[in-house]
């Protein structure tokens, strides 16, 4: 699955991995919501997910609803359903 390029004339794409599946992304940023939809297409909006990421450039962390992050080639995302507290 790919998103549309928001920057006409810039053809850069990024190979990312989400839950072990390689995806191609054409923006240098990706949001929590976009990662969740790639991992669990059509998931209901009332389900919370834990989203952790890492890349070989030493940048790692987690995303919460409403957040986004810069990506590099090879960024790996692990997305798991969580229980609401």
In percent, the amount of the chain with pLDDT more than 70 equals: 86
Distances in whole angstroms, Cα of residue 5 to Cα of each of 12, 14, 31, 70: 9, 12, 15, 15
pLDDT tens column, 1-56? 445 444 444 578 999 999 999 999 999 999 999 999 999 999 887 889 999 999 88
Burial class (CB in 10 A: 0-12, 13-18, 19+), 39: buried
Q: How many domains does the chain have?
A: 1
Residue reference for tokens 């839950």: 19
Determine, yes or no, domain membership for 6.
Answer: no
Determine, yes or no, domain membership for 5.
Answer: no
**CATH at residue 34:** 3.10.20
Question: pTM for the full model?
Answer: 0.81
Determine, yes or no, domain membership for 3.
Answer: no
For residue 60, pLDDT over 60 is answered with yes
Determine, yes or no, domain membership for 53.
Answer: yes
Domain enclosing residue 41, as ranges: 14-81
């Amino acid at each position: 699955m790919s998103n549309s390029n928001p920057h006409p004339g810039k053809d850069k794409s990024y190979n990312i991995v989400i839950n072990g599946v390689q995806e191609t992304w054409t923006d240098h940023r990706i949001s929590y919501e976009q990662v969740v939809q790639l991992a669990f297409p059509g998931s209901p909006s009332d389900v919370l997910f834990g989203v952790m990421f890492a890349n070989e450039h030493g940048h790692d962390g987690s995303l919460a609803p409403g957040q986004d992050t810069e990506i590099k080639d090879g960024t790996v995302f692990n997305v798991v359903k969580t229980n609401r507290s």
